[in-house]
Amino acid sequence: MAISNSYPNFPSDCKSLLSKHLTKEIYEELKNKKTSSGFTLEAAIASGLENYDSGIGVYAGDLESYDTFAALFDPIIEEYHGFCKSDSHVSNLNAKDLNAPNPDVENKYIVSTRIRVGRNIANLPLGPAITKDQRDEVEKQASQALNSLDGNLKGTYYPLDGMNEEVSQKLIEDHFLFKAGDRFLEAAGLNRNWPKGRGIYHNDEKTFLVWVNEEDQLRIISMQQGGDIKEVFQRLTSAISKIEEKIKFSYSKHLGYITSCPTNLGTALRASVHIKVPNLAQNYAHFEEITNKHHLQIRGINGEHSESVGGVYDISNKRRLGVTEIQCVQDMYDGVVELIKVEKELALG
């Protein structure tokens, strides 16, 4: 899958949205275009050409990419989020509007809850096109803003550069830190100058964390054991508004919060639980029927592209654009309520 200057040949079993939507005509229309930060079609599709098993296969280098390469991005965005060119995005981060009482007060099914949003700084390129100096500047601005937080958000910024291997490994195993060397990010140019400019901020309890310069410049994360989804959301929204007092994030009326991967546009929010459903796991078609009905995605428990361990799965909202943050969390909540109900019935035989 060498990247060449001609229309790529996708293998017949390639299922990526890139392979579906990059027609010869669109390729010809876009192949010589460039954004003002120098991002090209070749760079946008590099990850999907290097990794034919991609689900999507494209990344944006800047806000302008979504316009310059709209002929490719628009149909991908439409298929992933069900969101058309004529739609507009509305944000709602008001935790008061969320109706999500703990669906598992006895703590039998939900191991932990995590909600994250991606954010990128306005008027800077996104990770795939950022320069080293700009990335270092992001780290500086982010760590300064984070170091000013107080109360339950007060914590410390730990740069990845120079972090002890045992410490980073333990953070990864405990689901707090991103992994190094992701091949999808690598091919998208998102791992350049690794580990410089990357890091993690967290409070002592590790219930509030921020990843710096991974797939997006900031990933703002709230997580805790158990199923108190509302508490997790409240902590997240209060952190976002405090960080927004210091940093202006890239936002467009049409696409919402701008992210490097089109799957994260809009709310850039992924609300997930790690949930124990061994009986549903044995009835996978039924499991998927429920998750599809509620617009949910099933992942393994060690992050994207990982496997389930012991009947525990990561269940999260799939759509993020054209729905509010409240709706994203509500999708996850409603699906989890149904999964628990069916899992209980299956356990009774």
Contact call for residue 274 and ligand ADP (CB under 6 A): yes
CA 81 to chain centre: 14
Q: Give the number of other Cβ atoms within 10 Å of residue 346's Cβ.
A: 17
Binding at 308: pick from ligand ARG, ligand ADP, none (beta carbon under 5-8 Å per type): none
| Cα–Cα distance measured from residue 122 to residue 221, given in angstroms and rounded to the nearest whole number | 20
* String of contacts with ligand ADP for each residue 152-181, x by CB under 6 A: -----------------------x------
120 and 140 Cβ atoms separated by less than 8 Å: no
The interface region with ligand ADP, picked from 2-10, 16-24, 265-273, 321-329 by CB under 6 A, is 265-273
CB of 334 to ligand ARG, least distance (A): 23
Q: Give the number of other Cβ atoms within 10 Å of residue 217's Cβ.
A: 29
* Of residues 89 and 320, the one with the C-beta less far from ligand ADP: 320
CA 189 to chain centre: 17
Enumerate residues 17-46 that contact ligand ADP by CB under 6 A.
none
Q: What six digits make up the tokens of 217?
A: 């410049």
Single residue of 21, 35, 57, 277 touching ligand ARG by CB under 6 A: 57
Contact call for residue 81 and ligand ADP (CB under 6 A): no
Helix locations, 188-254, DSSP H = 229-244
83 and 267 Cβ atoms separated by less than 8 Å: no
Catalytic residue flag (residue 304)? yes
* Of residues 135 and 274, the one with the C-beta less far from ligand ADP: 274
The interface region with ligand ADP, picked from 79-87, 244-252, 290-298, 300-308 by CB under 6 A, is 300-308
Active-site residue, selected from the candidate residues 29, 78, 304, 338? 304
261 and 76 Cβ atoms separated by less than 8 Å: no
Single residue of 109, 184, 211, 287 touching ligand ARG by CB under 6 A: 184
Mind giving me the DSSP string for 57-96?
A: ----SSTTHHHHTHHHHHHHHHHHH---TT--------GG
Single residue of 114, 198, 276, 318 touching ligand ADP by CB under 6 A: 114
222 and 208 Cβ atoms separated by less than 8 Å: yes
End-to-end CA distance of the chain: 49
CB of 133 to ligand ADP, least distance (A): 26
Contact call for residue 215 and ligand ARG (CB under 6 A): yes
CB of 38 to ligand ADP, least distance (A): 27
Enumerate residues 246-265 that contact ligand ARG by CB under 6 A.
261, 263-264
Question: Collapsing DSSP states into helix, strand and coil, what is residue 276?
Answer: strand
CB of 138 to ligand ARG, least distance (A): 18
Catalytic residue flag (residue 40)? no
Angle between the N-to-C axes of helices 325-347 and 284-293, in degrees from 0 to 180, rounded to the nearest 10: 150
Catalytic residue flag (residue 219)? yes
List CB contacts of 89: < 8 A, sequence separation 6 or more.
83, 253, 254, 255, 256, 265, 266, 321, 322
Contact call for residue 54 and ligand ARG (CB under 6 A): yes
Question: Collapsing DSSP states into helix, strand and coil, what is residue 157?
Answer: strand
* Residues near ligand ARG, by CB under 6 A: 47, 54-57, 184, 215, 261, 263-264, 304
* Residues near ligand ADP, by CB under 6 A: 112-114, 116, 175, 219, 223, 270, 272-274, 299, 301-304, 314
What is the set of active-site residues? 116, 215, 219, 261, 263, 270, 299, 304
